[in-house]
Copies of this chain bind each other. A is one copy, B any other.
Amino acid sequence: MTLTKKDVVSNVLRGRTSMPRAEAKAFAPANIALCKYWGKRNEELNLPVTSSLSLSLGPLGSEVVLATCEGSDRVELNGEAVPERAPFAARLFEFLDLFRPTPATHFNVIARNTIPTAAGFASSASGFAALVTALNDLFGWGLDKRACSILARLGSGSASRSVYEGFVEWHAGSREDGMDSYAEPLDARWPELRLGLLTISSETKKTGSRPGMKHTIETSPLYAAWPAKATRDLAELKSAIVARDFERLGRTAESNALAMHATMIAAWPTLLYWLPESVRMMQRIVAMREDGVPLFFTMDAGPNIKLLFLEQSEPRIREVFPDVQVVAPFSAYR
């Protein structure tokens, strides 16, 4: 029997009573994977082939204000009403279907992203994580973060990681119902660590990461080698974090991202998310590193580049990349 998202929600909410309130508000950070989530073992439940590891972006993410309402679902994003037939709204309302206490319950969602939407900056991850957190609060379910991570995963795989700050590991799990596929924070802070966001294009991608992942698994002859690579990289990253070995962390994250892009490039038709400017930036980064600057990068399913460096390199980085948006993931840590 194939499990549906609805089955998982019923399972998570079993025995919970709803204590609805008028409105709930939640924030969740975006996250940048250092070891990527690339490939599903279950499309319906967003169960991944491998575990992954990310770094949350502190104040950059999504804020959601949620209330129930009459008539129909409504969503506003960054101050503008989103037409209900837009893909963004359709995906959101379908997700909300999982949580309606009665078919007549509708939701009013006011969402605000502090990070560019759909340009590879993982706004769907923070969006679904914030939405689940808000739902939990709105209905007074009293779910813990692990349960919220499982529910957020049903909206977008990487959303499972956005329920936490800092370094977060999403365990792939092996159960068919996915109840062991949730994220957990690593007990590690690294205050000197910096992420630098280089926006090369903020246009909506031609191919989203969801179909991109599917297309890669189905057509790339090189994907077969990915799961073992990701498994090795995850272990390497965790030990680099424990050892505070920045060189090892950066090298492993960059190599992981490049290998993920390589699996896409070898898909047919090719999935080349890189723009000419992406290549120019990559070459600049490699050249700076050869010049002795400890600088690495990662990239998601898009043309944008995320720099990885330490606090002391920031002046040099800002000189070479004047448009960089620097994030200190551990500075806003509460």
Contact = CB atoms under 8 A, between A and B. Distances in A.
A286 B269 contact: yes
A24 B311 CA distance: 65
A83 interface: no
A8 interface: no
Interface string A251-290: 1001100110111011011101011111110110010000
Nearest to A275: B279
Contacts of A263: 222, 262
A1 interface: no
A265 B261 contact: yes
A254 B286 CA distance: 27
A104 interface: no
Interface residues of A, number: 33
Nearest to A274: B279
B251 A258 contact: no
Q: Chain A interface secondary structure, helix, strand, loop or mixed? A: helix
Report copies per complex. 2
A286 B278 CA distance: 18
Given A221-B225, A229-B221, A268 B255 contact: yes
B266 A259 contact: yes
A257 to B, nearest CB: 10
A243 interface: no
21 contacts: A221-B232, A221-B259, A222-B222, A222-B226, A222-B266, A225-B225, A251-B268, A254-B270, A258-B266, A258-B268, A258-B270, A259-B266, A262-B262, A270-B282, A270-B286, A274-B279, A275-B279, A276-B276, A276-B277, A276-B279, A279-B279
Given A254-B270, A261-B265, 7 more contacts: A222-B226, A222-B263, A251-B268, A258-B270, A259-B266, A275-B279, A278-B279
> Closest 10 A-B residue pairs measured CB to CB?
A276-B276, A262-B262, A262-B266, A221-B229, A259-B266, A222-B222, A262-B265, A276-B280, A222-B225, A276-B279
